């Protein structure tokens, strides 16, 4: 049943008609638990509140798969505006970007132009930029672009997904770039030809890539809500005496907030992935797909209204 629910929500996450309806009617049905707001002012308030609790942030202006230069330009402008706000207010926040929101599916020239504008603004405001990983069909393009930009900029990282067969070789390939990586399990629906279909295999691969990247001496963000992975990482860094400044834990806004604070109290660096914007639908559907409990929470919210 859980897998059926997951597949349903992953399918719905790419439905263009529902995406348009979501943009039209705004945040509804419990989405505010996982999305910090629709405007920059709303999300800045959330960042301040999280920072006051000792939590760092990575901010994501939601949007993906744009098919117009104008929309890619608008996303770039808003991202730059957010970077400037973070810099001027001295907030403890990084920024995550999706290349498809910046024109990846339109042309490489466009996405590179927009990324360089973002990275130039980020350098000026001392803000780190992470290129989010999307579905498998865009994985290689994303890594190729990251490599080019990594040679030009220091304040840039990217994401690798444990459920893909190729990820261990990507870890090895990116080592020469001293890449700062966010390691995740993965949240897209992928073919069994490219991804582990069983959760236990994904979990084992997740542990392997965490160990590999840490022992390579590179900065590693372990993005997970899985307590077993968290405890595994704690034991790993203890055994190998990995310095606290070489890694951090990351969790999504609205998921396990109490555990996030506990990790801070335990002395670990904890970063919260905070999404905002009007294009929240696809992100929200993937969060519902991850855990049936999320669906129950949303249904409860609907019937309370």
Q: What are the residue numbers of the active site?
A: 132, 182
Burial 136-166 (b: 16+ CB within 10 A, else e): bebbebbbebbeebbeeeeebbbbbbbbbeb
247-252 and 270-276: which strand pairing? parallel
> 57 pairs with which residues across the strands?
93, 272
Residues, the chain: 305
Residue 14: count other Cβ atoms within 10 Å of its Cβ.
Answer: 17
Tell me if 131 sits within 8 A of 146, measured CB to CB.
yes
Instruction: Name the 3-class secondary structure at 58.
Output: strand
Tell me the C-alpha distance between 38 and 224, whole Å.
25
Tell me if 215 sits within 8 A of 240, measured CB to CB.
yes
């Amino acid at each position: 049943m859980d897998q059926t629910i997951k597949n349903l929500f992953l399918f719905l996450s790419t439905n263009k008609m529902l995406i348009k309806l979501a943009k039209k009617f705004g945040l509804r049905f419990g989405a505010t638990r996982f999305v910090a707001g629709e405007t920059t002012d709303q999300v800045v308030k959330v960042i301040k509140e999280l920072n006051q609790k000792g939590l760092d942030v990575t901010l994501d202006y939601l949007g993906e798969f744009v098919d117009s230069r104008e929309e890619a330009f608008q996303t770039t402008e808003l991202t730059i505006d957010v970077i400037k706000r973070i810099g001027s207010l001295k907030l403890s926040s990084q920024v995550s970007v999706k290349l498809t929101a910046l024109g990846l599916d339109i042309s490489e020239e466009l996405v590179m132009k927009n990324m360089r504008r973002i990275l130039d603004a980020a350098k000026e405001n001392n803000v780190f930029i992470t290129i989010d990983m999307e579905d498998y069909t865009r994985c290689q393009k994303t890594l190729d672009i990251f490599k080019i930009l990594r040679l030009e900029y220091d304040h840039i990282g990217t994401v690798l997904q444990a459920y893909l067969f190729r990820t261990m070789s990507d870890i090895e390939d990116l080592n020469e770039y001293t890449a700062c990586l966010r390691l995740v399990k993965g949240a897209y629906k992928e073919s069994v030809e490219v991804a582990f279909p069983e959760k236990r295999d994904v979990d084992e691969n997740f542990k392997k890539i965490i160990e590999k990247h840490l022992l390579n001496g590179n900065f590693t963000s372990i993005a997970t809500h899985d307590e077993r992975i968290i405890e595994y990482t704690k034991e790993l860094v203890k055994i190998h005496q990995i310095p606290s400044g070489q890694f951090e834990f990351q969790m999504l806004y609205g998921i396990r907030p109490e555990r996030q604070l506990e990790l801070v109290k335990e002395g670990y660096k904890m970063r919260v992935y905070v999404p905002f914007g009007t294009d929240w639908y696809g992100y929200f559907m993937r969060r519902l797909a991850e855990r049936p409990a999320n669906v129950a929470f949303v249904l409860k919210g609907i019937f309370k209204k």
